[in-house]
Amino acid sequence: MYLIGGAVVNLVHSIKAGLSLEMPGTNGASSAEVVKAVQNGSLDEKTLDEAVKRILQIVLKTKENKKDISYSKEEQHKLAKQASIESTVLLKNEDNILPLKKQGKIAVIGEFAKTPRYQGSGSSRVNATKIDAPYDEICKTCEEKATVAFASGYNLTDDNINQNIIGEAKELAKQSDITILFAGLPDVYESEGYDRNHMHIPENQIKLINELASVTKNIIVILMNGAPIEMPWIDKTKGVLEAYLGGQAVGSAIADILFGEVSPSGKLAETFPIKLEDNPSYLNFPGEGDVVEYKEGLFVGYRYYDKKKLKPLFPFGFGLSYTNFDYKSIKVDKNELLDNESLNVTVSIKNTGSITAKEVVQLYVRDVCSSLIRPEKELKAFEKIELKPNEEKEITFTLNKRAFAYYNVDINDWYVEDGDFEILVGKSSEDILLKEKVIVKSTTSLKKTYTLNSLLGDILNDQRGKDVLADKAFADALGMFGKIDELDATMLSFIYGFPLRTIIGFSQGKMTEEMLENLLNKLNN
């Protein structure tokens, strides 16, 4: 058991409860409190010994298993670069401004170009073996083929707008053929222990983008941030590349993507809303007092935007490429299956462009008609494949019970409702290109219990319930409720919302309370 940033007054109680290690340390204050507690008898020394013993066991075990490992820092740096390339997402590429040619005058603007934000803050920090600065890597890539110049454009130490350095950046952009602007969120904006209360980049960066747009149309924005941001300025750019916190080799990774050494292949693992207010948790986060309720429930991320039919800035799974992929066909190995059987889904994808590139193929499942509140669709499988120009490949996804199930709290297990399910395949949660339908039947029988307040619609959607209501013993007394097959769609939708108890009133005396009780017993037995 560990205590992160705990108060000293609670430390003794925590040790009694099983605490072994407090993080971070308190410069001896905690130690003095523990000694005092042992001396005055409020903490049994044996309890403290057990806590110390647990730590010593870890220390000794670590020492026993210590191994001398050699590794190549250069090879690890190459691995870091590949990871950064794979996760960088191309969000906008108007007029195919990317990839760039190694020619002409290129302006590199923004402090992040020389001091990249490549990792998170707080306890996530690591010591990099070396750091690739984007500006340096762009210069290396272009060599003598293009003129590359730099302007800071903004300060990272504060959000104040400095018109002098903005002016310098504008002048450089005005004299250049292409402007590459590095923007994003400074360290102080994102860390453990606190949350942002907005989704915009610093005002001095927003001002800079607007000013640059007044002198050039060829702006490419490279983003360095750990989470989604608003982009009210996006129409003033031709290209947007989301580099996130790309690690120590982020600079060389960006340079390779910018100049077409490799095609971007990252996809968003989150939704970018147009504005903060579109977020599903906006109305209830950060809560009241010290209580936060996750009222969005199942509807986090793309599930919310799908259900609300709310257009995001960029959907979950989105990411552009320097080539085009044709989603040609989808096949399933069976059209009907039991929930304990697996389903193989085979998809054919072709690279119809002129360069080798990778694509992340995404498979979603939709329950066509569920008796519960469920998302429109849910991501169940994905795979990244590499295709050469004109190359076509087949991918096979295998789906099991969990792909179709929901967690049923009554049986404490995953359960699949009988019915139709759609298999949806596409480039993102919003860009579905292939579709197939299968029927899944449950091997688990659920006992349904009805009451006088149960809705007729729920009863009629259950075949057994429908049969009971149509039974001759009740049909006459039920009146129109006993002639479901003869009713039109309008009347059906009208009565589906009626509680079972309302039948007595609508039967005009033909249905008694005793008869209704017998009907209920038959439904439940």
Q: Do residues 49 and 97 both lie within one domain?
A: no
Alpha-carbon distance of 122 to 489, in angstroms, equals 60
CA 76 – CA 69 distance, rounded (Å): 14
Please check whether residues 336 and 397 belong to one and the same domain.
Answer: yes
Phi, psi of 338 (to 5 degrees): -85, 155
In terms of pLDDT, which residue wins out, 82 or 520?
82
R_g over Cα of the chain: 31
Question: What DSSP state is assigned to residue 274?
Answer: S
| Pair (113, 87) in one structural domain | yes
167: domain CATH number is 3.40.50.1700
- pLDDT-based confidence at 5, cuts 50/70/90? very low
* Cβ within 8 Å of residue 390, ≥6 positions away: 350, 351, 352
291 belongs to a structural domain: no
What 3-state DSSP class applies to 36?
A: helix
Q: Is residue 230 part of a domain?
A: yes
pLDDT digits (tens, 9 = 90+) for 386-442: 999 999 999 999 999 999 999 999 899 999 999 999 999 999 999 999 999 999 999
Residue 360, pLDDT score: 98
Query: Which of 244, 264, 284 is the last residue before a domain boundary?
Result: 264
Residue 87 lies in a domain: yes
The 10s digit of each residue's pLDDT in 369-378 is: 998 999 999 9
CA 281 to chain centre: 14
Same domain, 46 and 141: no
Paired strand residues for 395:
347
171 lies in the same domain as 253? yes
Instruction: Output the pLDDT for position 473.
Output: 60
Specify the DSSP class assigned to residue 352: -
Rounded distance between C-alpha atoms, residue 403 and residue 382, angstroms = 13
What pTM, to 2 d.p., does this model score?
0.87
Indicate the residue type of 268: L
412 and 506 inside one domain:
no
Query: 114 and 247 share a domain?
Result: yes
Q: Check if the beta carbon of residue 187 is closer than 8 Å to that of residue 145.
A: no
Q: Residue 451: helix, strand or coil by DSSP?
A: coil
pLDDT tens for 469-505 read 777 666 665 555 555 666 666 766 777 778 888 877 7
407 and 474 in one domain? Answer: no
CATH at residue 347: 2.60.40.10
Give domain status of residue 450, yes or no: no
Identify the residue whose tokens are 């049909």: 475
Q: Does residue 236 lie in a domain region? A: yes
For residue range 115-167, what is the model confidence (pLDDT) as tens digits? 999 999 888 889 999 999 999 999 999 998 999 999 999 999 999 999 999 99
Q: Read off the pLDDT of residues 448-467 as tens digits, 9 standing for 90 and up.
A: 888 889 887 888 777 777 77
The answer to whether 444 and 406 are in contact (CB under 8 A) is no
CA quadruple 497, 501, 505, 510: dihedral positive or negative? positive
Q: Which of 166, 167, 238 is nearest to 202 (CA)?
A: 166
Domain range for 341: 325-441
Q: Domain boundary at 441, 468, 501, which?
A: 441
